């Protein structure tokens, strides 16, 4: 039996986010194309060398990208929408980046979440044009690795089924498949001619629930792909869950099958037990978690590996992380300020490769004895025991609604914003100076207060009804709370890519979460003193904090969510006691945290909603609780929203306005709701008329008394002039609507 240590993919952003800097400098025009391409080549080769040094036997190419790998695949096949024709005359790179980021007169391609990760890919668009392999970029990278490093690498690409599944714009899927598959064949044939031995086709879509018809389609895709045996082997790589329809798909005409024995552990083990594994195929065993950041218990992993080998009777095996490592940071060695107590619990990409190495060496009798994961599991200790009443507001919504209406005395169609106002250059620079200890805490706080006051005056001047303090003190809506709650650790360099060149640095929840001291009280109370109008308190909800952090795995996510809920409940109590009458608890990540399979949704929603309610149910009836959600497909999501029992929700609908309205028709909603009236992602200033039209549409399904007027999301990325102009139109539109209403009544 032969063992191969390999990885599905490795991060490409660089230890110091060099990749991001190269891309952004090139976009700004600071470097020439030649220099840019040379810089990327250095990054590509550097990361291959690093993986070799760490002990992998077989390295991937094609896990690198110049923006996004789905986009790479589309462009490689010439799937370029006609609206980029002007860029096509310029250069290949300008088309590529126009598709990613938009160009004059041509909006960018849609972007959406990559399965259940926090990565977002570009959705390929087909317009029926003739496709062909415009440039086999994998071939270029394959040769580069061979010529420069003398190694034969494993090209990896998004597999045909997943590509077809995620692409849009075609009417007939079979016909589209028939266009695409020959191109896959061509790319693979060229690679194989050049000396590639294995090609990895990534098919995460094979872990979704597959109908019989879908399984038949997968089979037909692979039957068309492999008409005659290519000279090289195919590794059909799955991840994020167990392989669906295992008994049928395991027999696809490929030479290797890659399975996830972390997220898909139970299902894949059960499948192996029941159906065995084809003797002639190579089994790629995803055994080290590619998604979390915790050290593995290698002694346990060795046992698991043994039982997989027993069950599968596999011949040759690959041992690898369970998914691409692009979802975790690069190396804990880059963390200089983190305490050793926490660091020793962590394994980022490099440490995970080392774990693979240790695991395989131990099987070959030359390894050291395997240890645990450094953790002495503590039983979660919640701050206090919760009772069923903790999840319930004292009175039902209709009663609260009346009490709140009397207290707040807002006009019909109240206007508000989602929380943040533009983070100007000055705001960012002042914060940086403060972090670098160039200015004192007092100077910084005074600056934040001045900026808040300036925006309170702007909001009053615009005539908004419910004001916000503007969130100038926050960089990121999760990190801000991570810095202030117990149980969190923050890293310096633990970045992961979120989309394109954008990276995020999720906080690390390593211990019991608890509230230590007020986190938002000072800024909110200060703003409330500045105005007669109500100022909304602003918090990030428990589920969003959880979903956008790296979470400890020694207790359940559910338990961590309740700890967060209780901690936020304390904060909400403080705000209420200080006289803040409206408190918004943002949950933009609640919908996107849904598990991959529908069968698992209910369980997740149950605890997610309970943790939100635990946070928000401690207030008096007269305190109005808001929430906010955005950038997800909310159709069919009215019931879960209802279950949150908030008094008001503001929700983004720029992408799916019509569909959400349709959902509201099917599932009536009685509480306060603001359907975003303009998209904050564009610098364009929407007119009064167009906002009015959107509002009138919404009034087809909503009662005037429940209707709020607000933008789609926070305004922190916009410029001040755009923000003020757009909001002025919005407030006017709301006023017009009020006068129409009056006319209709009398």
The helix (run of H) or strand (run of E) holding residue 663 is helix 657-666
Q: Of 188 and 538, which has the nearer Cβ to ligand GLN?
A: 538
Closest by CA to 414, choosing from 460, 464, 458, is 464
Show the 3-state SS of 422-478.
CCCHHHHHHHHHHHCCCCCHHHHHHHHHHHHHHHHHHHHHHCCCCECCECCCCCCCC
Please give the structure tokens belonging to residue 408: 């707040």
Closest by CA to 368, choosing from 377, 378, 376, 359, is 359
> Is 716 a residue that touches ligand GLN (CB under 6 A)?
yes
Please give the structure tokens belonging to residue 89: 């005359």
Binding ligand GLN (rule: CB under 6 A), the pick from 418, 572, 641, 731 is 418
Length of the chain: 746
User: Minimum distance between the CB of residue 680 and Zn ion, rounded to whole angstroms?
Assistant: 8
Please give the structure tokens belonging to residue 462: 């615009």
Interface with ligand GLN (CB under 6 A), residue total 13
Binding site for Zn ion (CB under 5 A): 588, 630, 713
The helix (run of H) or strand (run of E) holding residue 345 is none
CB distance 700 to 661 below 8 Å: yes
> Is 608 a residue that touches ligand GLN (CB under 6 A)?
no
Binding ligand GLN (rule: CB under 6 A), the pick from 204, 419, 422, 676 is 419
DSSP state at residue 696: H
User: Minimum distance between the CB of residue 593 and Zn ion, rounded to whole angstroms?
Assistant: 15
Please give the structure tokens belonging to residue 350: 């490099």
Q: Of 319 and 713, which has the nearer Cβ to Zn ion?
A: 713
Instruction: Specify which residues 6 forms β-bridges with.
Output: 58
DSSP state at residue 298: H
> Is 714 a residue that touches ligand GLN (CB under 6 A)?
yes
Q: Of 76 and 468, which has the nearer Cβ to ligand GLN?
A: 468
User: Minimum distance between the CB of residue 358 and Zn ion, rounded to whole angstroms?
Assistant: 43
User: Minimum distance between the CB of residue 647 and ligand GLN, rounded to whole angstroms?
Assistant: 17
Show the 3-state SS of 398-416.
HHHHHHHHHHHCCCCCCEC
Among the residue ranges 94-102, 324-332, 416-424, 525-533, the one whose residues contact ligand GLN (CB under 6 A): 416-424
CB distance 504 to 452 below 8 Å: no
Among the residue ranges 10-18, 343-351, 414-422, 430-438, the one whose residues contact ligand GLN (CB under 6 A): 414-422
> Is 420 a residue that touches ligand GLN (CB under 6 A)?
yes
Q: How far apart are CA 721 and CA 713, in angstroms?
A: 17
Q: How far apart are CA 215 and CA 209, in angstroms?
A: 10
Location of structure tokens 């106002």: 421
Q: Of 125 and 712, which has the nearer Cβ to ligand GLN?
A: 712
Whether residue 681 lies in the annotated active site: yes
Site for ligand GLN in 453-482 (CB under 6 A): 471, 477
How many C-beta atoms lie closer than 10 Å to residue 449's C-beta?
18
- Could you tell which of ligand GLN, Zn ion, none binds residue 81, using a CB distance below 5 to 8 A set by kind? none
User: Minimum distance between the CB of residue 498 and ligand GLN, rounded to whole angstroms?
Assistant: 12
> Is 677 a residue that touches ligand GLN (CB under 6 A)?
no
Binding ligand GLN (rule: CB under 6 A), the pick from 159, 588, 674, 686 is 588
- Per-residue mark of binding to ligand GLN, 487-526 (x: CB under 6 A): ----------------------------------------
Q: Of 414 and 588, which has the nearer Cβ to Zn ion?
A: 588
User: Minimum distance between the CB of residue 620 and ligand GLN, rounded to whole angstroms?
Assistant: 23
First to last CA, the chain: 86
Q: Of 431 and 716, which has the nearer Cβ to ligand GLN?
A: 716
> Is 586 a residue that touches ligand GLN (CB under 6 A)?
yes
SS3 call for 354 = helix
User: Minimum distance between the CB of residue 649 and ligand GLN, rounded to whole angstroms?
Assistant: 12
Please, what sign has the CA dihedral across residues 353, 355, 360, 366? Answer: positive
Please give the structure tokens belonging to residue 571: 């904060």
Q: Of 538 and 560, which has the nearer Cβ to ligand GLN?
A: 538
User: Minimum distance between the CB of residue 714 and ligand GLN, rounded to whole angstroms?
Assistant: 2
Q: How far apart are CA 522 and CA 429, in angstroms?
A: 22
Q: How far apart are CA 275 and CA 257, in angstroms?
A: 14
Contacts of residue 529, Cβ cutoff 8 Å, sequence gap at least 6: none
User: Minimum distance between the CB of residue 630 and Zn ion, rounded to whole angstroms?
Assistant: 3
Among the residue ranges 418-426, 453-461, 570-578, 617-625, the one whose residues contact ligand GLN (CB under 6 A): 418-426
Minimal CB distance residue for ligand GLN: 714
Detail the DSSP E strand segments found in 273-357.
282-288, 317-321
User: Minimum distance between the CB of residue 270 and ligand GLN, rounded to whole angstroms?
Assistant: 39
How deeply is 363 buried, as exposed, middle or buried, from its count of CB atoms within 10 A (0-12, 13-18, 19+)?
A: middle
Q: Of 259 and 477, which has the nearer Cβ to ligand GLN?
A: 477
> Is 355 a residue that touches ligand GLN (CB under 6 A)?
no
User: Minimum distance between the CB of residue 502 and ligand GLN, rounded to whole angstroms?
Assistant: 13
CB distance 282 to 316 below 8 Å: yes
> Is 338 a residue that touches ligand GLN (CB under 6 A)?
no
Query: What is Dmax (Cα atoms) for the chain?
Result: 89
Q: Of 97 and 421, which has the nearer Cβ to Zn ion?
A: 421
Q: Of 8 and 649, which has the nearer Cβ to Zn ion?
A: 649
> Is 20 a residue that touches ligand GLN (CB under 6 A)?
no
- Could you tell which of ligand GLN, Zn ion, none binds residue 346, using a CB distance below 5 to 8 A set by kind? none
CB distance 476 to 543 below 8 Å: no
- Could you tell which of ligand GLN, Zn ion, none binds residue 289, using a CB distance below 5 to 8 A set by kind? none
How many C-beta atoms lie closer than 10 Å to residue 179's C-beta?
18
- Could you tell which of ligand GLN, Zn ion, none binds residue 420, using a CB distance below 5 to 8 A set by kind? ligand GLN
> Is 615 a residue that touches ligand GLN (CB under 6 A)?
no
Q: How far apart are CA 746 and CA 526, in angstroms?
A: 42
- Could you tell which of ligand GLN, Zn ion, none binds residue 716, using a CB distance below 5 to 8 A set by kind? ligand GLN
Q: How far apart are CA 511 and CA 549, in angstroms?
A: 13
Q: Which residue is catalytic, options 120, 681, 729, 732?
A: 681
Can you state the angle between helices 33-53 and 18-28, rounded to 10 degrees? Answer: 170
> Is 628 a residue that touches ligand GLN (CB under 6 A)?
yes
SS3 call for 318 = strand
DSSP state at residue 7: -
Site for ligand GLN in 527-556 (CB under 6 A): 538
Binding ligand GLN (rule: CB under 6 A), the pick from 183, 319, 641, 713 is 713
User: Minimum distance between the CB of residue 612 and ligand GLN, rounded to whole angstroms?
Assistant: 15
Q: Of 588 and 618, which has the nearer Cβ to ligand GLN?
A: 588
HSE on the CB side for 744, CA within 13 Å?
7
Among the residue ranges 100-108, 478-486, 505-513, 710-718, the one whose residues contact ligand GLN (CB under 6 A): 710-718
Residues annotated as catalytic (active site), given as ranges: 681
Residues that bind ligand GLN (CB under 6 A): 418-420, 471, 477, 538, 586, 588, 628, 630, 713-714, 716
């Amino acid at each position: 039996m032969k063992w191969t240590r390999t990885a599905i993919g490795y991060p490409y952003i660089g230890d110091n986010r060099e990749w991001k800097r190269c891309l952004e400098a090139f976009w700004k025009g600071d470097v020439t194309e030649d220099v840019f391409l040379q810089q990327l080549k250095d990054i590509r080769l550097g990361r291959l060398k690093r993986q070799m040094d760490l002990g992998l036997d077989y390295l991937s190419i094609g896990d690198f990208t110049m923006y996004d790998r789905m986009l790479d695949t589309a462009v490689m096949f010439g799937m370029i929408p006609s609206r980029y024709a002007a860029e096509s005359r310029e250069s290949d790179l300008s088309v590529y980046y126009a598709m990613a980021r938009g160009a004059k007169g041509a909006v960018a391609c849609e972007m959406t979440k990559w399965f259940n990760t926090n990565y977002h890919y570009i959705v390929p668009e087909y317009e029926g044009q003739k496709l062909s392999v415009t440039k086999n970029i994998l071939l270029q990278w394959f040769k580069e690795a061979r010529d420069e490093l003398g190694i034969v690498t494993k090209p990896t690409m998004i597999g045909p089924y997943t590509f077809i599944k995620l692409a849009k714009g075609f009417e007939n899927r079979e016909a589209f498949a028939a266009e695409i598959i020959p191109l896959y064949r061509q790319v693979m044939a060229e690679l194989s001619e050049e000396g590639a031995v294995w090609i990895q086709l990534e098919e995460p879509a094979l872990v979704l629930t597959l109908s019989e018809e879908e399984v038949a389609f997968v089979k037909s895709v692979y039957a068309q792909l492999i008409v005659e045996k290519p000279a090289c082997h195919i590794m059909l790589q799955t991840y994020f869950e167990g392989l669906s329809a295992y008994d049928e798909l395991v027999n696809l005409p490929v030479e290797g099958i890659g399975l996830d024995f972390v997220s898909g552990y139970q299902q894949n083990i059960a499948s192996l037990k029941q159906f065995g594994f084809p003797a002639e195929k190579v089994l790629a065993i995803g055994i080290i978690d590619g998604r979390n950041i915790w050290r593995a218990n290698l002694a346990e992993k060795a046992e698991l590996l043994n039982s997989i080998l027993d069950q599968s009777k596999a011949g040759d095996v690959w041992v690898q992380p369970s998914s691409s490592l692009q979802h975790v940071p690069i190396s804990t060695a880059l963390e200089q300020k983190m305490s050793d107590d926490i660091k020793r619990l962590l394994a980022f990409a490099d440490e995970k490769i080392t774990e693979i190495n240790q695991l395989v060496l131990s099987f070959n009798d030359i390894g050291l004895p395997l240890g645990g994961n450094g953790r002495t599991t503590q039983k979660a200790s919640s701050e206090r025991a919760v009772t069923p009443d903790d999840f319930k507001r004292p009175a039902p919504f209709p009663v609260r609604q009346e009490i709140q209406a009397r207290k707040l005395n807002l006009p019909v169609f109240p206007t508000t914003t989602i929380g943040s106002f533009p983070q100007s250059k000055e705001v960012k620079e002042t914060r940086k100076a403060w972090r670098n200890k160039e200015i004192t805490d007092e100077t910084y706080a005074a600056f934040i207060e001045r900026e808040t006051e300036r925006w309170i005056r702007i909001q009053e001047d615009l005539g908004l009804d419910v004001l916000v303090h503007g969130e100038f003190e926050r960089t990121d809506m999760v990190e801000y709370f991570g810095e202030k709650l117990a149980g969190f650790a923050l890293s310096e360099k633990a970045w992961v890519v979120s989309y394109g060149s954008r990276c995020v640095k999720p906080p690390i929840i390593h211990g019991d979460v608890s509230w230590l001291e007020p986190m938002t009280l000072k800024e909110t109370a200060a703003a409330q003193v500045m105005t007669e109008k109500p100022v909304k308190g602003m918090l990030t909800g428990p589920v969003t904090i959880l979903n956008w952090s790296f979470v400890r795995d020694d207790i359940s996510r559910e338990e961590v969510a309740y700890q967060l809920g209780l901690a936020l409940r304390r904060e909400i109590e403080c705000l209420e006691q200080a006289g803040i009458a409206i408190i918004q608890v943002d949950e933009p990540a609640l919908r996107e945290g849904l598990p991959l399979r529908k069968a698992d949704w209910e369980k997740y929603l149950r605890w997610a909603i309970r943790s939100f309610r635990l946070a928000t149910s401690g207030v008096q009836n007269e305190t109005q609780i808001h929430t906010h959600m955005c950038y997800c497909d909310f159709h069919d999501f009215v019931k879960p929203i209802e279950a949150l029992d908030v008094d008001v929700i503001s929700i983004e609908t720029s992408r799916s306005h019509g569909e959400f309205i349709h959902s509201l028709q099917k599932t009536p909603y009685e509480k306060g709701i603001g359907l975003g009236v303009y998209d904050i992602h564009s610098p364009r200033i929407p007119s009064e008329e167009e906002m009015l039209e959107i509002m009138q549409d919404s009034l087809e399904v909503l009662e005037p008394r429940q209707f709020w007027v607000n933008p789609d999301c926070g305004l922190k990325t916009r410029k001040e002039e755009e923000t003020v102009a757009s909001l002025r139109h919005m407030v006017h539109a709301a006023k017009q609507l009020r006068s129409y209403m009056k006319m209709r009544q009398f």
